[in-house]
Amino acid sequence: MNTREKHNFTVFGLGGCGNNVLNHLIGKGLTGPLFVAASSNARALNNCLAPQKILVGDSVVKGGGCGGNAVRGRAAVEENINDITKAIGQSDMVFLTGGLGRGTASGGLPVVAKALSELKKKPLIVAVVTKPFRFENFRLPLTERSLNELYKYCNSVITVDNSKLESLDQDLSYQENLEKANEVLFRAVSSVIDLVETPGEINVDFADLSSVLSHKGPAIISFGEATGEKRASDALNDALSNPMLAETSLTGAQAIICNITADSKILVREVMEVNNKIHKAIGPKVKLFFGLVIDDSLKQTGALRLSVLASGLGGGQKETQKDSPIKKKLDPPVKETAVKAAALKPETQPAPMPQLNMEVETLGQKPKLTLAGGKLSAQALKEATPLANPVVPPGPYSATARRVIRPSLEPNNKALGLGREPGLNARAYDSGMLGKPPYRRKKAD
């Protein structure tokens, strides 16, 4: 007799995309969860098959939709957030679904996730959202902002990439391909319900589910089924090969639940094959919860079913890289040079030779002295002060010009005086630029 505690699951669809997903789940005959739809568009909400519906933002948008405006979408959901939390807040686990990049869901789903996370009895929150098509790149910034908020408040986020519809069968109708995106949520919800509610030889309970979903971030929740000699590996590939999933690799996952359902003839080899492949993909340090359910109703088809839930994708990989003992090695020449430089004492290192730059904007103005490289004493700087406003006679140097004179300096800074030194330009002295009276030739009689 099944004495396991029953748990309440809710699927909440927000906006046009979210309502379409609910229609798909209900049309597929999924039973068990409570379906709640919400939208700012009254006409679209009436077409939803969900038994419970909430019109949001009536005073904001008057039932006409948000027109792709996420700000209005947020305001619309905030207006009715109490109605939403009252309808879905008593659940043990809530799936939030909607399309990101537009109005109602982009602005409103983070509001719902935040409100649920602040409840006294907080449910497990899993968001299953879609990203825009490739030709809608202008919607990506809004999509990323909404995703970042959902990562903050949700236990896990499953992303469906609509741009991957291009890689599907081009001969199928658009509606048939679009239903493959809805199938992601169907697999996620149905596999989780079966995982928790179906008793097995090796049970995975709601506490295990809570432990795995405690690792926030991107996630995979999927379901696979296969028959034949390679049914174990084929079922695992089926669970991870949904082309619409943005994440299809277990690499970097922080925790995983793997639940196998098969008839009583299942082989030890098949059980070990699945778990060994997962263990190899995620590494030995990651939590792996394994469950096994015997269902003899599968004897006729010989099918093996596999539910996979992987959370915190990418987080484990970052931690591994952070804690890795492998460090970048320096090349021997660089290392040797660095060691020699460090061994030199400060007093043994050669000091840079100072260089005096004297910039003259106009010869009738006071020259400006700057020093490139080295340091000067206070006395040296005082001695370096040029004469103020030297008298410059008319001539080729009286025109407005910019000249830079760099006299050679001795280590004792004697050249900073205004007396003529061998390194100075004689023409500069003759022009009177350094304050010496100009030299004039007497005119011939």
User: Model confidence over 208-225: pLDDT tens digits?
Assistant: 888 888 888 888 888 889
Please state the rounded mean pLDDT for residues 374-380.
51
Task: Report residue 7's pLDDT band, with 50, 70 and 90 as the boundaries.
Answer: confident
| Strand ranges for 325-416 from DSSP E | 355-360, 368-372, 403-405
Q: Mind listing the pLDDT tens digit for each residue in 317-331?
A: 333 333 333 233 323
DSSP letters for 105-161: HHHHHHHHHHHHHTSSSPPEEEEEEEEPPGGGGGGHHHHHHHHHHHHHH-SEEEEEE
Output the pLDDT for position 269. Answer: 93
Domain contains 30: yes
Residue 163 resides in a domain: no
167 vs 364 pLDDT, higher one? 167
pLDDT tens-place string over residues 57-78? 998 888 888 888 899 999 999 9
For residue 247, what pLDDT band results from cuts at 50, 70 and 90?
low
Closest C-alpha among 419, 399, 398 to residue 410:
419
**Domain tally for the chain?**
2
Q: Which of 154, 175, 195 is the last residue of a domain?
A: 154
> Has residue 395 got a pLDDT over 90?
no
End-to-end CA distance of the chain: 136
* CATH code of the domain covering residue 117: 3.40.50.1440
Measured between alpha carbons, how far is residue 90 from residues 87, 185, 314 in Å?
7, 21, 31
CA distances from 126 to 165, 219, 246, 401, 404 (A): 23, 9, 15, 73, 70
9: which strand partners?
Answer: 93
Query: What is each CA distance from 146 to 9, 68, 106, 151, 386, in whole angstroms?
Result: 24, 14, 6, 9, 65
Q: Which of 118, 137, 154 is the last residue of a domain?
A: 154
- Does 238 reside within a domain? no
CB 132 within 8 A of CB 93: no
**Taking the complete model, does pTM exceed 0.75, yes or no?**
no
In a domain, 217, yes or no: no
Question: To the nearest whole percent, how much of the chain has pLDDT over 70?
Answer: 65
The number of beta carbons lying within 10 Å of the beta carbon of residue 52 is: 14
What confidence category does residue 379 fall into, taking pLDDT thresholds of 50, 70 and 90? low
202 bridge partner residues: 292
pLDDT for 154 beyond 80: yes
Domain membership of residue 244 (yes or no) is: no
CA dihedral for 307, 5, 83, 146, sign (positive or negative): negative
Q: Which of 154, 188, 206 is the last residue of a domain?
A: 154
181 inside domain: no
- Summary mean pLDDT of the chain: 74
pLDDT band at 132 (very low <50, low <70, confident <90, very high): confident
Q: Containing domain of residue 367, as a range? A: 355-430
Contact 380, 409 (CB under 8 A): no
Please report, as a single letter, which amino acid is at residue 100: L
DSSP state of 416: G
CB hemisphere CA count around 409 (13 angstroms): 22
Q: For residue 35, tell me if it sits in a domain.
A: yes
Percentage of the residues of the chain whose pLDDT score is greater than 90: 30
19, part of any domain: yes
Pairing label, strands 255-262, 287-294: parallel
Give the Cα separation of 283 and 281 in Å (integer).
6
Helix, strand, coil percentages in the chain from 3-state DSSP, rounded to 5? 40, 20, 40
Q: Can you spell out the DSSP letters for 293-309?
A: EE-GGGTTTT-EEEEEE
Q: What is the pLDDT of residue 92?
A: 93
Task: Give the phi and the psi of residue 156 in degrees, each rounded to 5.
Answer: -150, 155
